[in-house]
Amino acid sequence: MTISAGQPIAGQPTSTRQAGPRRPLGELGRAALGRAGRAALLATGRQPVPDALEPLVQVHRRHHPQADLALLARAYRLAEASHRGQKRKSGEPYITHPLAVTMILAQLGAGTTTLVASLLHDTVEDTELTLDQVGAGFGPEVAYLVDGVTKLEKVDFGAAAEAETFRKMLVATGDDVRVMVIKLADRLHNMRTIRHMKPASQVRIAKVTRDVLIPLAERLGIQVLKAELEDIVFATLHPEEHARTRGLMAGHEALPDTLLEPFARQLARQLAETGVAAEVTVRPRHCVSLHRVLLKRAAAPGRDGRPQEPQPADFGRLLVVVEENADCYAVLGELHTCWTPLPGEFKDFVAAPKFNLYQSLHTAVALDGGAVVEVLVRTRRMHEVAETGVVALGDPSPTGPGQDADELDRTDPARPGWLSRLLEWQQETPDPDAFWSALTADLAGDREITVVTESGETLQLRAGASCVDAAYLLGEETGHRCIGARVNGRLTALSTPLQDGDVLAVLTENLPAGGAAQPSGPSPEWLAHARTPAARLAIERWLADHPARLPVVRTGPAAHQPAPAAHRAGERRAAPVAVAGRPGAPVRLARCCTPVPPDAVAGYPIRGGAVAVHRTGCPAGQRLRADGRTELEVRWRSEDAPAAGHRVTLRAEALNRPRLLADLTAAISAAGVGIVSAEVEPPQELRVRHTYSVELPEPGALPALMRAMLRVSGVYDVSRPHAPEGARTREGGRAGRDGGPEDRDGGPEDRDGGPEGRDGGPDGGQGSPEGREGGAEAALRGKWG
């Protein structure tokens, strides 16, 4: 309680006369004073606090005035007695370590229970004290926290002890996030004294801290702890670069600040004039933060082509702390009105907090001299959470059968977020090495993105995640059935990386009712696009349970259909087309567009007196006309339908998946259509193009066949292709002999459009609109972005 000067405390005398005559201090001996002190303590019921605990108590009382100091004192006495005689590598008594760790937590504002567990966190691991004794003396909550941070013995786990210890801590963190908070404070103090370790141990510990502990501190939002850990790791692993950066910082600190402090005062005056209550301070960058800025400067050459030198504004940022959320935007308005904002530098983490609950407005403005200054704007509560993260949320209240859980998951403040996903996939990774690799990979991303499904569900993913990761985040069964994705309304490949704010729809194959059929499942190439451990583990399990099987492809007709006449040697195909004015001319149906009744067609004279029949609009036919060929009128003759059926070429665009070729050929055969040839192009970004030449028993079977192919899972477009726009047309056979080997329909020299215009080639054109089958399935069509 703060009492203003001259204000009496209620219930106490206001003068020495009211209090009675004062006895001189010298009239009491030391023994009398000691007895009086003990009597006063007994009268108030407060136990004396050990001298070593006094600094800790002072810090703790600033955050928790009503803290149970007797419990802290009892925990300290037990820890001191348990560790008595033990020394650290620095030569100091071991009790200095739990005291230092507890002081770090007290400075963060942790609760009394957390401090008690911190004082005892090494007793079970390094002394004769057992976990049952801790629970009996301080309760199950403290015992759970102590057990969570207790390392597993190398005698029992060997080389896997470190990985399994982290697994154990993460599982415990899932129930109580304070386990990881204590571990981070423990690691910070160990890093502060890392100079006493052997060089090899320093490097090993620093790398583990860099790869695991610092990302965990970031995800828990404890920025003050993360920043110090980063600086110590930087000094341990890169001493020369650290020394250079520290030298630049020291040189800047020795000079008067002629940029940031004057701007802070100017901004404070401007806000005061507009009636916005705010505190404006200069926030210096820590060593690693400055080093990152210097790297960006070095990577961006100046006008003279040389790396840019550090600028005064690189050494710090302005922090504006206000009272209310609305004041944040009022400050932003003043900043952007009075100074020039930099495009692309504004970020609103107030309306859309980060995954670790961080909230602030970020902007950058250009001052009159051209210097660019970054400004952070937040409320006092936002500032507290930004600095200490989950610690600022307070100790979690236990939830039992008769208690309602908090609306926010107390173990994962970013629910649904990184911790929930990590706890899910670690259960599926029994191998310690695989767990450790997956853990470091999952924590490697320094930020997360938010993706919204078309149904309104919000997905939290690590930066760089692809559509494959999103599919498996929606559920393992959804991932196995996934055949494609639509991002921001456009069909895209599963390998496409997602961006923050994308709207996603995962397309899945339809399975027959009854659950007997299995999904097609992932292909091995999906592993190259999976960025999250959960997706990778699910794909690897599927591939292990479903060894690759070569599909059995049937390229003939259905069992009840006779073999096509084209398969019988020596039999010619008759063209059911009549050419006006040329009754005896040989007619060839163009292979580039494969016309069938009732297509609109046109004829063009070619070498040897033959007539090539193309579909109206076919680019190859249009080129023949442009070259001066006379367009001849032709018509279909229903009475001359070929016995072998009508040959037509169909192109299927699909999302690549296992057994796609087998399913497509089965659908064609089931429609009673014989396959003459099939061509499959190499997949491009999980998309594939299949081209089939088929024999239709009758022209009316074409629409039903295209619908059947479009119903195959993964197929999003079925069309009848034309020749490519750039292909040249060859005119007939080498000798022009009707019926000769070189002049037969389909011969290598007689295909209208030539080799460059063969259906299904890599440069094949898109099918015409009239050649695509309509229906509800058309929603999946579209060009690739």
C-beta pairs of 580-588 under 8 Å, 24+ apart in sequence: 580/632, 580/633, 580/634, 580/635, 581/632, 581/633, 582/611, 582/632, 585/609, 585/610, 585/611, 586/610, 586/611, 586/738, 586/739, 587/611, 587/613, 587/634, 588/612, 588/613, 588/745, 588/750, 588/752
- The tokens describing 139, both together, are 């309760």
Annotation says 125 is catalytic: yes
State both tokens at 204: 């090993």
- Asked whether the beta carbons of 146 and 114 are under 8 A apart, the reply is no
Provide long-range contacts, Cβ within 8 A and 24+ apart, for 270-277. 270/334, 270/338, 271/320, 271/331, 271/334, 274/330, 274/334, 276/322, 276/327, 276/330, 276/331, 276/334, 277/322, 277/323, 277/327
CB 96 within 8 A of CB 83: no
Contact 610/620 with Cβ under 8 angstroms? no
Distance CA(495)–CA(511), nearest Å, equals: 23
Active-site option among 68, 92, 126, 395: 126
For the range 86-93, what are the long-range contacts, defined as Cβ-Cβ under 8 Å and sequence gap of 24 or more? 86/126, 86/127, 88/193, 88/196, 89/193, 89/196, 89/197, 90/193, 90/196
Contact 392, 401 (CB under 8 A): no
Residue partners of 612: CB distance under 8 A and separation at least 6: 588, 590, 603, 604, 605, 606, 621, 624, 752
Distance, CA of 440 to CA of 211 (rounded, Å): 6
Beta-ladder partners of 548: none
Residue with tokens 């423990």: 186
Collapse the DSSP code of 629 into the 3-class scheme (helix H, G, I; strand E, B; otherwise coil) and give the result.
Answer: coil
User: What totals of helices (H) and strands (E) does the chain contain, helices first?
Assistant: 28, 20
Tell me if residue 278 falls in helix, strand or coil: strand
User: Where do runs of H (alpha helix) occur along 482-630?
Assistant: 533-545, 619-626
Q: In a 10 Å sphere around its CB, with 0-12 CB exposed, 13-18 middle and 19+ buried, how is residue 511 labelled?
A: middle
The SS3 assignment for 552 reads coil
Q: How far apart are CA 97 and CA 133, in angstroms?
A: 21
Dist CA 468 CA 621 (whole Å): 43
Measured between alpha carbons, how far apart are the two ends of the chain, in Å? 65
Distance CA 649, CA 661 (A): 16
DSSP H or E run through 782? none
Catalytic residue (one of 51, 54, 80, 125): 125
How far are the Cα atoms of 494, 498, 536 from residue 485, in angstroms, in the given order? Answer: 6, 11, 18
Q: Which SS3 state, helix, strand or coil, does residue 322 take?
A: strand
Please state whether beta strands 503-508 and 448-453 pair in parallel, antiparallel, or not at all (unpaired).
Answer: parallel
d(CA 756, CA 764): 9
CA angle centred on 79, ends 97 and 136, rounded to 5°: 135
Listed residue (118, 117, 123, 114) closest to 80, CA to CA: 123
The answer to whether 462 and 449 are in contact (CB under 8 A) is yes
CA distance 220 to 228: 15
Do 597 and 703 touch, CB atoms closer than 8 A? Answer: no
Q: Establish how many alpha carbons lie within 13 A of residue 735's alpha carbon, considering only the half-sphere containing its beta carbon.
A: 7
Active centre residues (catalytic)? 125-126
